[in-house]
Structure 1
Amino acid sequence: MTASDRPPSVDALARSLTASGLPHPICVDIAREAIAADDVDGARRRADHFRRTLLTDVVNATGVLLHTNLGRAPLAHSQDARPQTVEFDLSSGERGSRQTAVGQLFARLTGAEAAMVVNNNAAAVLLVLAALAAGRDVPVSRGESVEIGGSFRVPEVMEQSGCRLIDVGTTNRTRLSDYQRAITRADTDVAIVMKVHPSNYRVEGFIEETSLPELATLEVPVMADIGSGLLDANVPWLTGAPPAWLAGEPAAVQAIADGVDIVTFSGDKLLGGPQAGIIVGRADLVERCARHPLARALRPGGLVLRSLQDTALTYLDKRAATDISFWRMVGRSMDDLDRSAERIRAALEQDHGIVPARVITAASEALPGAGSAPGITMPSRALVVDGDHLAALRSAPIPVIARTRDGRTLLDLRTIDPAQEPHVVAALGSALAVT
């Protein structure tokens, strides 16, 4: 074997991958793998593939505002690398509770006596059940004993909490009397009644469910897992009437006003904040949750707490419509979406020579996503091009995630932030240049 036939050294090949932006130890691993596989020429491709397995900024052009696979609510948050009062009381100079700052804000926002935060809503449900109902019975309507995304099954979460599920009613009809019978049966020991927002599951037709005000008349505490994180059904942060697609979506303010004792919901859905589970309700019940050993295991860190604090203050300052990305997407008018379409089409022609006829604007339907307002859509606009260009769009330096239908690629404009339009132009221009 001549010197020219020998593979390069691992170090030399690793240094040739510097442009990938990966740390040198990772480049060394990739170089070793490429040499071992006799694929020296594919080392750069391997490095690019590895880089794309890391968390990467993308453009959401799917039309799903809260896309679970894309992190749900888009959120901008930054803070200085400085100590903060996560568990320090400035008044006393002693150790404080990490729940104080955010808890008081969400209690104020929802009209509850108290509030606390854990790391996601599944954890919130688990903690409430473990703290308030371990070893006892919890009636749940059969129509609400559901499986939500990621194999979150209500019966299994209840089992892990240590409580016992009591099925009441039927899949399509559950009345107040069904709960009352479960409570008064001689063989049950009911701690609380739980009502579950079915998320991405909907039953229509011959149905009947028991409302929260009705459940609040029961002689045991009532828990409502409203899931989607809508603070107030009246959406006072928006101008005009509440959007039609929100009709029937449960909200924290109304649940507390209806007499529900404890409410759980997500931070990263309709609330528009970071992933978190928020528990609001009666002070004595929230305190029992805070004292439970699981509360320490499920507690959020300082980054989440500070981000949630900023989110809560945004609502209290009445800036949610402009400062929270989800509500900005909701609030965009059709005329505004049409203007975005024309800007992108003009830039494609000017920068890439793509004639406007190849990229048309068509009516589209966006949806909230993440199990919020299941089955409901909102009008939108989409850029439409012939053919399937999904892979090419994903391969752009800033990947664009779109969808296909009937042999065409659609980029929904409601989920594209106007600041990301240049990325769409670059990705779509490159994709169409090769076809």
Structure 2
Amino acid sequence: MDPKSKCLRGIPKVDECISLLRSIESLTAPDTIIKSAIQEVTAKEREKILTSAECNELTTEQWIARFVSAIKKKISPHLKHVFNGTGVVIHTNLGRSVLPEQTTDQLVQAGGYYSNLEFNLDTGQRGSRYSLVEDIICDLTGAEAALVVNNNAAAVLISLDTLAKGHEVIVSRGQLVEIGGSFRIPDVMAKSGATLVEVGATNRTHLRDYENALTENTAMLLRVHTSNFRIIGFTSDVSATEMVELGRRHGIATMEDLGSGSLVDFSKYGFPKEPTVQEIVKAGVDVVTFSGDKLLGGPQAGIIVGTKEIIGKIKKNPLNRALRIDKFTLAALESVLREYYDMDKAIESLPTLRMLTSSPDIVKKRGRSLLRRIKSKVTNVCEIQLISTVSRVGGGALPEHNIKSWALAFSPKTMRLSDFEKGLRKLATPVIGRMENDKFLLDMRTIQDKEVSALSELLVHFFEDESDRD
């Protein structure tokens, strides 16, 4: 018998494997999961045998190890906690803003018990879910009314659909950019039924450009935050105040998509000046949209603020039913927003704001703490040192600004850097960092104090396993 045929005949039958795995007391999984894992592992091995030049017959122990590994992978959550050592605070791929503990407690309450989601406790009648946060948003922004939908793209879509469907919307050409996830204002506008009218040049747009483009069919003047895209040098733009004055002269609505809207003036903490939501509302813009999970530091949400008349129209749009938020978003958003009644407290209590504003000395201290815990355990596997580096805000916010930070830099001795990175990424709690200058960096700005102990234990086990392999 040739080797390939022998290897193929050595693939165990599914029923035999199930019986064998059931004898493992520590393995608790439904039969459907066990069977599916066995089928996947055996199919993969069969494909490997058929396509490889050589093959080796697996032992019973090797088959069991592969089955158990596949079963554990199937029963473990797909969405899991990871250690963010990238230095990107608002990391879109890693879930953006981290919520404070008091907010996660509210999520447990919202999910584990009945709530007054749409029940008015004063009247005993059906209520509105939006009333749970609308007053708070208005208090904090100075707006007359507010509405929350499931993300900022939805906020822009429903606003345009309500206010400009079948009509023209004037936008500066320099603001027609694409951001993460292929989100393009022209595409959203087309979906809303509004007609885009581009004005100005890529780098310079003047008030006269807007005014010259006005027609009887113009419904709105729109300003769009350009996220992580910047034009520098010979540039000019039209301010919110100028746009509002032009709109009022001609009886046309004005709207500003802030993208990553902030309630905090971060220029007080050394960041470039960006307009806050309060400033744009005060300028008189009729409708303002921004995200809840970026600089606000809350859950994914699209927040719309503006005049009572306009917000009232948007609330009545049938799209609102499709884009509305659930009780978990409401619970998290209310909890986060309440922190902003005391701005100084919000800086400390909201993880996103705390990470952004922490001094380099605080970050360095955290790095020293982790280094002390693991250094003696890593010498056989890699060199490690604490180095200065820079973090980024992320989420398309303040793209030009580097934040001084500190990182643990790992230089593996026994494996390739790419394998080292992959090994950390494959841990039970994945450790995500960045490779830079032939080193693997864990930026300590985005590692929370409460994570240091667990992270150190995980790293020590990883290094011990690697040392044993050698």
* TM-score of the pair, normalised by structure 1: 0.91
SS of the residue aligned with 1:65? strand
Distance 1:267 1:345, change over 3 A: same
Aligned counterpart for 1:215 among listed residues 243, 248, 253: 243
The CA deviation at 1:163 is 0.5
Q: Is the 8 A contact 1:229 1:268 kept in 2?
A: no
Aligned counterpart for 1:283 among listed residues 308, 321, 334: 308
Structure 2 Cα separation of the partners of residues 101 and 341 of structure 1: 41
- After superposition, the C-alpha distances for 1:318-373 in whole angstroms (9 at most, x for unaligned) are 431222110121232222222212211111135x2648992111111001101011
Structure 1 Cα separation of the partners of residues 441 and 25 of structure 2: 36
2:356 is aligned to 330
1:68 is aligned to 92
Q: Is the 8 A contact 2:387 2:408 kept in 1?
A: yes
Distance 1:346 1:156, change over 3 A: same
SS of the residue aligned with 1:280? strand
1:383 is aligned to 408
- After superposition, the C-alpha distances for 1:38-63 in whole angstroms (9 at most, x for unaligned) are 57442233335446770010100000
**Residues 97-176 of structure 1 mapped to structure 2, 5 A cutoff:** 97-176=128-207
Q: Is the 8 A contact 2:14 2:35 kept in 1?
A: no
The root-mean-square deviation of aligned C-alpha atoms, in Å, is: 2.5
Structure 1 Cα separation of the partners of residues 230 and 76 of structure 2: 36
2:41 is aligned to 34
The CA deviation at 1:130 is 0.4
2:128 partner amino acid: S
Structure 2 Cα separation of the partners of residues 423 and 330 of structure 1: 23
Distance 1:213 1:72, change over 3 A: same
Alignment of 1:340 onto 2:372: no
Structure 1 Cα separation of the partners of residues 231 and 443 of structure 2: 28
Moved more, 84-93 or 173-182: 84-93
Structure 1 Cα separation of the partners of residues 228 and 316 of structure 2: 32
- After superposition, the C-alpha distances for 1:54-92 in whole angstroms (9 at most, x for unaligned) are 001010000000110000001241332222111111222
Alignment of 1:79 onto 2:108: yes
Structure 2 Cα separation of the partners of residues 143 and 254 of structure 1: 22
2:13 is aligned to 7
1:238 is aligned to none
- After superposition, the C-alpha distances for 1:216-250 in whole angstroms (9 at most, x for unaligned) are 101312100001121142x5xxxxx61222x2323
1:193 partner amino acid: L
1:314 is aligned to 339
Q: Which has the higher helix share?
A: 2
Q: Is the 8 A contact 1:382 1:412 kept in 2?
A: yes
2:229 partner amino acid: Y
Distance 1:180 1:356, change over 3 A: same
2:52 is aligned to none
SS of the residue aligned with 1:115? strand
Q: Is the 8 A contact 2:170 2:198 kept in 1?
A: yes
The CA deviation at 1:140 is 0.6
2:60 is aligned to none
Q: Is the 8 A contact 2:14 2:39 kept in 1?
A: no
In structure 1, list runs of 5 or more residues that go unmatched.
236-240
- Structure number with greater Rg is 2
- After superposition, the C-alpha distances for 1:99-129 in whole angstroms (9 at most, x for unaligned) are 1111111111100000010000000000000
2:50 is aligned to none
Distance 1:150 1:342, change over 3 A: same
1:402 is aligned to 433
2:226 is aligned to 198
Structure 2 Cα separation of the partners of residues 270 and 397 of structure 1: 30
Q: Is the 8 A contact 2:82 2:429 kept in 1?
A: yes
Q: Is the 8 A contact 2:370 2:456 kept in 1?
A: yes
Q: Is the 8 A contact 1:17 1:44 kept in 2?
A: no
Structure 2 Cα separation of the partners of residues 229 and 16 of structure 1: 56
Structure 1 Cα separation of the partners of residues 108 and 459 of structure 2: 34
Identity %: 36
SS of the residue aligned with 1:116? strand
Structure 1 Cα separation of the partners of residues 145 and 353 of structure 2: 26
Distance 1:353 1:150, change over 3 A: closer
The CA deviation at 1:398 is 1.6
Distance 1:273 1:6, change over 3 A: closer
1:244 partner amino acid: G
SS of the residue aligned with 1:192? strand
1:303 is aligned to 328
1:91 partner amino acid: D
Q: Is the 8 A contact 1:274 1:307 kept in 2?
A: yes
Distance 1:221 1:21, change over 3 A: farther
1:102 partner amino acid: V
Aligned counterpart for 1:91 among listed residues 122, 126, 129: 122
**Residues 260-275 of structure 1 mapped to structure 2, 5 A cutoff:** 260-275=285-300
Q: Is the 8 A contact 2:291 2:302 kept in 1?
A: yes
Distance 1:252 1:24, change over 3 A: farther
* TM-score of the pair, normalised by structure 2: 0.84
Structure 1 Cα separation of the partners of residues 25 and 159 of structure 2: 50
The CA deviation at 1:97 is 1.1
Structure 1 Cα separation of the partners of residues 23 and 179 of structure 2: 46
Distance 1:5 1:298, change over 3 A: closer
Distance 1:82 1:152, change over 3 A: same
Distance 1:31 1:193, change over 3 A: same
Structure 2 Cα separation of the partners of residues 407 and 6 of structure 1: 44
Structure 1 Cα separation of the partners of residues 187 and 24 of structure 2: 47
Structure 2 Cα separation of the partners of residues 335 and 274 of structure 1: 29
1:419 is aligned to 450
Structure 1 Cα separation of the partners of residues 187 and 369 of structure 2: 50
2:282 is aligned to 257
